[in-house]
């Protein structure tokens, strides 16, 4: 491996794995080649700790990078046009075999002005000074013994303006000290360390952090109060409802309560410290500003505040610090973890900056530039994930998700953007379904929750785990089921009772827990019972299946009447014969069917396909598509109905 690239990966991985140095994977690094012709730099949106030889970086022609800053015509362009032009020019400066479309860091032209190795970080220990009124003065005192003083960079808009400003300041510094600066403190932004070698750069990072920590205090840790599960659930659903009412967006909600959060929320000035506005570009981009302080969890009051933020042209809060309860974060897994890091970072900075003359936050104009900056929008898109499905970020539970139609439906919901909790008694099969989803979508989009739908305790625990993970529920699909194939005179009573337990009691227990959450949540929802054409048109030698599938239809109609006032829709899907991946259509069952119709086992599937009007075999995806439709807003007026997806075998009148 090229030495410059090896050094880049080394400094990136070492700094990126230290939570005291980075928040939410942020930061940039670069290393120039020995001949001075190229620069390896971190790719935009890549976490430092994740960079490796194969990905997470770009190689750039250094002369082309520096030419961007020197081009006077770029400076004359309108702001947003200029920034897009810079991004395009930086891409054109890349000289490598990377085909993923990864962008080089938008600060590449800035890196080009500095020494061989550059490490740009946002350490909380440094940012406490950079966001304090007395911060600059205190840093000067801390580093006055340095032979070459740190370079202070006043706040300017990031991107091209910042690069030109640093270029001018570095030139002035070189004239004064006859050398390049080693430490750059960027007001309200972060730390730049630049050195001729990777080792020297890493040593200097730790020197700066250790010195800055000397006069700082960690927020007083406090023991977390034991809370009742009902308190946390109530607050979680309250936050989720408020976000939905204000934005119309579905999102999971994560609960966080640790010693740092508990310590901060007990401060007398906690509310005031969080009302001061965004501290840094990262806090503004990823968490839409500081966490919202909530004295009492009232969904309407929180929604009103969020709506006011939007009316002012701001992005609505996604983090909520509820007094005496804890921190709640609205967002999917990856972005929620980033927001959690940013909030912890913010609490530390606010507590310490308060002791240094008070906070200095981003002005409205500075915030406006960042919110409109295409580069930050691109970075946020990479972190949060691309694509918007019909059911984006809705939380779904699918029973029987380990195989057959349950698996197909779970995969289909995930493809539509939903977060899917997979339940079944067969944990191994659930893991396989989860692997299928993670192979197509995101590893965070499916959650395995083993559950026996016939057990009241098992069902209750499954929904408790769901709430702890995603904080709400929008969709339930009852798909677990069995079909004991016996003629009436041969039907064992225990098989009859098992069918009732799985196909009826299981549907009832799952729907009861789902309805309780949806009612408390207050934003509606969708419940679907997976019935069968046999629930409409009885089949021979299928007493238990006929009875339970018909029962599922009628249960759903009753639930639709009960739950309609809460905006919860309940419908059924009655599939025809779906052979693909089915446990019901196993070899033994096929033999029973062959005997019933006097045909050979290999003729059974063609026989059933030919009974349909379309002469078309039904696949799992066909049923999944029907489920997605009924759960989507396109079916917003449909409830208490049965959608027959059987290629035209049973005609409902």
Taking each helix axis from N to C end, the angle separating 229-247 and 299-311, rounded to the nearest 10 degrees, works out to 30
Instruction: Show Cβ contacts of residue 85 under 8 Å, excluding neighbours closer than 6 positions.
Output: 74, 77
* Closest C-alpha to 408, from 253, 573, 581, 183: 581
* Closest C-alpha to 125, from 139, 114, 111, 137: 139
| SS3 category, 401 | coil
* Closest C-alpha to 46, from 65, 28, 60: 28
Taking each helix axis from N to C end, the angle separating 427-440 and 404-415, rounded to the nearest 10 degrees, works out to 30
Q: Are 119 and 42 in contact (CB under 8 A)?
A: no
Whole-number Cα distances in Å, 456 to 194, 401, 512, 521: 61, 19, 10, 22
Tokens found for residue 589:
């069952």
* Closest C-alpha to 552, from 538, 572, 568: 572
Tokens found for residue 411:
């995969």
Q: Are 395 and 470 in contact (CB under 8 A)?
A: yes
Q: What is the dihedral of CA 317, 341, 197, 181, to 10 degrees?
A: 50
Q: Phi/psi at 638 (nearest 5 deg)?
A: -105, 120
CA-CA distance, 61 to 53, in Å (whole number)? 19
Extended strands (E) in 50-116: 57-61
Q: Which letter does DSSP use for residue 280 in this model? A: S
Strand partners, 478: 529
Tokens found for residue 130:
């950079």
How far the first Cα of the chain sits from its last, in Å, is 71
- Locate tokens 């190689």: which residue? 59
Whole-number Cα distances in Å, 281 to 284, 372, 375, 420, 549: 5, 12, 12, 33, 56
Taking each helix axis from N to C end, the angle separating 160-177 and 62-70, rounded to the nearest 10 degrees, works out to 100
The arrangement of strands across the sheet holding 38-42 comes to 57-61, 38-42, 28-32, 117-121, 190-195, 183-186, 151-153
Q: Is 545 a catalytic residue?
A: yes
CA-CA distance, 588 to 584, in Å (whole number)? 9
Neighbours of 524 (CB within 10 A): 16
Which of 545, 566, 597, 607 is flagged as catalytic? Answer: 545
Alpha helical stretches, state H, 534-619: 543-563, 587-597, 604-610
Q: Phi/psi at 446 (nearest 5 deg)?
A: -130, 140
CB-count burial class (<10 Å; 0-12, 13-18, 19+) for 505:
middle
* Closest C-alpha to 348, from 230, 264, 411: 264
Tokens found for residue 197:
């070698």
Active-site residue list: 545
């Amino acid at each position: 491996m090229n030495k410059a690239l090896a050094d880049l990966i080394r400094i990136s991985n070492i700094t990126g794995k230290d939570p005291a140095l980075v928040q939410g994977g942020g930061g940039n690094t670069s290393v120039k080649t020995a001949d001075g012709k190229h620069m390896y730099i971190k790719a935009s949106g890549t976490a430092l700790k994740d960079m490796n030889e194969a990905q997470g970086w770009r190689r750039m022609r250094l002369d082309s990078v520096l030419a961007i800053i020197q081009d006077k015509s770029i400076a004359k362009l309108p702001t947003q046009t200029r920034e897009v032009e810079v991004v395009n020019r930086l891409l054109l400066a890349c000289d490598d075999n990377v085909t993923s479309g990864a962008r080089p860091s938008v600060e590449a032209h800035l890196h080009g002005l500095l020494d061989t190795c550059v490490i740009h970080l946002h350490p909380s220990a440094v940012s406490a000074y950079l966001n304090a009124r007395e911060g600059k003065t205190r840093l000067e005192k801390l580093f006055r013994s340095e032979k070459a003083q740190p370079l202070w960079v006043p706040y300017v808009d990031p991107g091209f303006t910042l690069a030109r400003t640093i270029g001018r300041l570095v030139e002035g510094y070189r004239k004064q000290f006859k050398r390049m600066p080693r430490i750059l403190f960027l007001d309200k932004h972060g730390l730049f360390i630049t050195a001729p070698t990777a080792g020297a750069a890493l040593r200097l990072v730790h020197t700066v952090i250790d010195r800055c920590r000397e006069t700082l205090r960690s927020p007083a840790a406090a023991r977390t109060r034991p809370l009742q599960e009902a308190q946390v659930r109530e607050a979680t659903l309250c936050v989720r409802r408020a976000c939905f009412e204000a934005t119309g967006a579905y999102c999971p909600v994560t609960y966080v309560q640790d010693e740092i959060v508990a310590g901060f929320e007990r401060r007398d000035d906690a509310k005031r410290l969080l009302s001061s506005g965004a501290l840094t570009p990262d806090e503004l981009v990823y968490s839409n500003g500081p966490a919202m302080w909530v004295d009492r969890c009232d969904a309407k009051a929180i929604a009103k505040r969020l709506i006011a933020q939007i009316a002012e042209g701001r992005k609505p809060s996604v983090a909520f610090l509820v007094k005496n309860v804890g921190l709640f974060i609205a967002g999917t897994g990856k972005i929620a973890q980033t927001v959690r890091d940013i909030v912890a970072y913010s609490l530390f900075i606010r507590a310490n900056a308060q002791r240094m003359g008070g906070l200095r936050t981003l002005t409205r104009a500075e915030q406006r530039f960042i919110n409109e900056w295409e580069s930050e929008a691109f970075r946020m898109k990479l972190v949060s994930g691309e694509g918007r499905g019909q059911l984006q970020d809705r939380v779904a539970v699918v029973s029987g998700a380990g195989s057959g139609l349950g698996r197909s439906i779970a995969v289909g919901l995930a493809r539509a953007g939903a977060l899917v909790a997979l339940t079944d008694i067969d944990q191994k099969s659930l893991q396989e379904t989860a692997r299928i989803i993670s192979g197509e979508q995101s590893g965070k989009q499916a959650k395995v929750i083993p559950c026996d739908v016939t057990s009241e305790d098992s069902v209750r625990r499954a929904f408790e785990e769901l709430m702890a993970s995603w904080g709400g529920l929008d969709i339930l699909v009852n798909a677990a089921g069995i079909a004991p194939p016996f003629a009436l005179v041969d039907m064992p009573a225990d098989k009859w009772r098992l069918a009732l337990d799985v196909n009826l009691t299981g549907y009832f227990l799952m729907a009861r827990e789902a309805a309780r959450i949806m009612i408390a949540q207050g934003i509606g929802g969708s419940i679907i019972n997976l019935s069968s054409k046999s629930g409409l048109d009885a089949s021979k030698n299928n007493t238990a299946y006929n009875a339970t599938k018909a029962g599922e239809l009628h249960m759903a109609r009753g639930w639709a009447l009960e739950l309609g006032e809460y905006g919860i829709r309940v419908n059924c899907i009655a599939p025809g014969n779906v052979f693909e991946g089915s446990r019901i259509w196993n070899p033994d069952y096929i033999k029973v069917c062959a005997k019933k119709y006097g045909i050979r086992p290999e003729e059974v599937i063609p026989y059933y396909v030919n009974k349909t009007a379309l002469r078309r075999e039904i696949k799992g995806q066909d049923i999944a598509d029907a489920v997605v439709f009924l759960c989507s807003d396109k079916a917003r007026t449909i409830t208490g109905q049965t959608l027959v997806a059987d290629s035209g075998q049973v005609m409902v009148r």
